[in-house]
Amino acid sequence: MADIIKLLPDHVANQIAAGEVVQRPASVVKELMENAIDAGATSIKLIVKEGGKTLIQVVDDGMGMSATDARLSFERHATSKIESAEDLFNLHTKGFRGEALASIAAIAHVDMQTKPHTDEVGTQLEIQGSKIVSQEVCATHQGTSIAVKNLFFNIPARRNFLKSNQVELRHITDEFHRVALAHPSVAFSFYNNGSELFNLPTANFRQRIVNVFGSRTNQKLVPVQEETQVVKISGFICKPEFAKKSRGEQFFFANHRFIKSPYLHHAVVSAFEGLIRPETYPGYFLYLEVDPASIDINIHPTKTEVKFDDEHTLYAILRSTVKHSLGQFNVVPALDFEHDPNMETPYAYKDKQAQPPGVTVDAGFNPFLESSRKRQVTGIQTQSAKGWENMYVGLESQLGKDEDFSSVSFESDTITGSIFTGQEALETTATTFQLRRKYIVTTIKSGMVIVDQTRAHQRVLYEKFLKNITVKEAVSQQLLFPLSLSFSKTDITIIKEIKDSLTHTGFVFNEIGEEQVQVAGLPLLVPESEVGIVLDQLIADYQQRVQADSFSQTDMLSKTLCKTLSVKTGEVLDNASQLALVNDLFACKESEVSPFNKPIYITITENDIDKKFI
């Protein structure tokens, strides 16, 4: 039998490895920025074009590489981070497997310029699909500049799998935030299609958070600090009143590396128990410093999922630390036992002795004597009803001589009668009623219908908003005083992207600045007090579900608005509102399922009811 197992060529092996390392442009950004950090850079510049599909360039001022190192860096499993297997259990660097540059070069055009501070000239290297096209001497600054162009040029299926430029840019921005927040001592700048998105100078951790997420973040932060033999915890948590319905500002850093840990996330959420509403998530920016030997960061190719040796102890320490910070900085509501000066004894009565109250008794009063009772009643009436005669001055002239109070009519509730008295009474009686403040029950010819009030209202609002955005004939209510709302730079970018669609729903924007949005008009169904909540929900949903075509954006906006503004479970509806909701529901084009593909109503026929009595 002939041998059938063969060694793969290097360029094929590199493409297979690229499937683990490079999932999308954001993966390239992460690897290149972490390499720049490991090279000791103090300033890093990220340049992106068309969501990273055309260009991703990272420029740093690190130590640079010699000509030999530059060539070897693109070989598989070539690294300067480790020398032996024991080094894997004592890691202080970001990348250590030596696959990143080789994998990137296998599926893109790479142009690298690098120069160490000891050399006068640098090295320029061009690679296309793992093939070195040229290596030349060049004049360049100290450090390294790597430009990755035409990502997945030789794998069309993977390139077609990428999302729109806006979605890919959002993933790149998330990776940029994670690296920038983990290293506040390094200056970062971020350019997209020639425009500057972020310029982050060297700062402390709090300043870096504010520079990334906007100035209004500063008032949200509560410091966290704890040091034990197991772990050193530092950073900030957000106040409970700023908890959001979406997961956005949750960051864990272990030894200056961003990590994802649902277990530790649960520890933080449990510390907020009772302080935040259900289905909301608190924000936090927490640094964890542990012994490198007690953490395994190589259990996943992206190195964001890690394994701690003693997670249970870490959970308990983290939970108690967050609780301590919430109480220490007066975030948790507490009883106030301080003296109120209004409740203290006045100065004039300070030395006065307490006297028992005196009771005056009429010793000669006898309830069985007519004269005593008359005297007592007369005295009470004289004191309590003095001047009552003035209320009836001129009343005789108005009523007339023969009229008395027997002709006075009193207002009362209208009695519609019993539903069993006739057909007219049956027609005037409401045909719906509310069950458990959640369902609306109404009758039909064949039986009854039970409608979920929340899902029904979502369907009605969804079709209404979808029509307004499509036809562009939404009605807006103007505000007497425009509202000024603060957002982060990333959120402002999203608002600019969906501004046209929001305008078609009824929003009117006077001005959209770098961190401020001025709202002058609202849709009729949006109350003024919930504008911030609605826009926050729109931004969160847009980040998660935006697609390339305009219809999906319209669909997303309509779904978010109907979900936020619909009647919720627990709200009481009067008969007119119940009837109107049922009529509006069955006037919709699709009345059986909600916008989120959930059934809206069920039908119980008369036969189904009869079977229950057999």
CATH code, domain with 165: 3.30.565.10
Contact 188, 44 (CB under 8 A): yes
Q: Are residues 29 and 74 in the same domain?
A: yes
Tell me, what's the pLDDT at 494?
85
What phi and psi, each to the nearest 5 degrees, are found at residue 198? -140, 140
Asked if residue 74 belongs to a domain, the reply is yes
Range of the domain at 312: 205-328
Q: Are residues 126 and 261 in the same domain?
A: no
Q: Which of 200, 227, 251 is the last residue of a domain?
A: 200
Asked if residue 345 belongs to a domain, the reply is no
Tell me, what's the pLDDT at 299?
62
Q: Are residues 596 and 456 in the same domain?
A: yes
% residues pLDDT > 90 (the chain): 38
Q: Are residues 221 and 117 in the same domain?
A: no
Asked if residue 273 belongs to a domain, the reply is yes
Question: Does residue 412 carry a pLDDT above 90?
Answer: no
Tell me, what's the pLDDT at 279?
79
CB neighbour burial string for 555-590, b if at least 16 within 10 angstroms, e if fewer: bbbbbbbbbbbbbeeeeebeeebbbebbebbeeeee
Q: Are residues 106 and 210 in the same domain?
A: no
Question: Does residue 555 carry a pLDDT above 70?
Answer: yes
Question: Does residue 395 carry a pLDDT above 80?
Answer: no
Could you tell me which residue, 404 or 101, shows the higher pLDDT? 101
pLDDT in tens, 212-265: 988 888 888 999 999 999 899 999 999 998 888 777 789 999 988 899 899 999
Q: Are residues 438 and 519 in the same domain?
A: yes
Asked if residue 607 belongs to a domain, the reply is no
Distance in Å from the first CA to the final CA of the chain: 75
Q: Are residues 98 and 151 in the same domain?
A: yes
Residue that is written with structure tokens 């627990």 in the block: 570
Distance separating alpha carbons of residues 490 and 567, to the nearest angstrom: 31
Q: The CATH number of the domain where 490 resides is what? A: 3.30.1370.100
Q: Are residues 149 and 219 in the same domain?
A: no
Asked if residue 484 belongs to a domain, the reply is yes
% residues pLDDT > 70 (the chain): 79
Q: Are residues 162 and 253 in the same domain?
A: no
* Coil, strand or helix at 51: helix
Q: What value does the mean pLDDT of the chain take?
A: 82
The band of 426, judged by pLDDT with boundaries at 50, 70 and 90, is very low
Q: Are residues 14 and 147 in the same domain?
A: yes
Q: Are residues 577 and 515 in the same domain?
A: yes
Tell me, what's the pLDDT at 98?
61
* Cα–Cα nearest to 287, from 325, 239, 232, 217: 232
Q: Are residues 120 and 102 in the same domain?
A: yes
Asked if residue 422 belongs to a domain, the reply is no
Q: Which of 170, 200, 230 is the last residue of a domain?
A: 200
Asked if residue 346 belongs to a domain, the reply is no
Q: The CATH number of the domain where 312 resides is what? A: 3.30.230.10
122-129: average pLDDT: 92
Tell me, what's the pLDDT at 601?
94
Cβ–Cβ contacts within 10 Å for residue 93, how many? 16
The band of 150, judged by pLDDT with boundaries at 50, 70 and 90, is very high
Asked if residue 363 belongs to a domain, the reply is no
Q: Which of 180, 200, 220 is the last residue of a domain?
A: 200
Question: Does residue 206 carry a pLDDT above 90?
Answer: yes
CA-only gyration radius of the chain, Å: 36
What total of structural domains would you count in the chain? 3
